[in-house]
Amino acid sequence: MNYNNLKTKIMKQQVAIKGMSCGGCTQTVEKALKQIEGVKMVTVSLAPPQAVIQTDHVISNAQLQSALAKVGNYRVAGNVTDNESKKSGGSCCG
């Protein structure tokens, strides 16, 4: 049932996420990203801290960021070349 690929092209976006510190965080982030319109599938990992999103159109980092901001102190880091090494304590487990 997922093969309506002539109409809908699924693409993959990979974004680094900051502020996750445990499995609860990854689940929270995953849920939040799934709420975004057009997002079909989300896979969040802690190491490396990132989300892989399958969408039917490109989701902007700003859109991802605003979805994350609603559920906690998580940030889209964009490029993996982010130099910030400070740990931010996480949102769901203080």
Residues 6+ apart with CB under 8 A from 53: 12, 13, 14, 15, 33, 39, 41, 42, 43, 59, 64
Nearest-approach distance from CB 34 to Cu ion, in angstroms:
18
Nearer to Cu ion, 38 or 72 (CB): 72
Nearer to Cu ion, 21 or 63 (CB): 21
Nearest-approach distance from CB 94 to Cu ion, in angstroms:
8
Which residues form the interface with Cu ion (CB under 5 A)?
Answer: 21-22, 24-25, 90, 92-93
Alpha-helical runs (H) found in the chain? 23-34, 61-71
Tracing tokens 């993959």 back to the chain, one arrives at 12
Nearest-approach distance from CB 12 to Cu ion, in angstroms:
25
Nearer to Cu ion, 24 or 38 (CB): 24
CA distance 45 to 37: 21
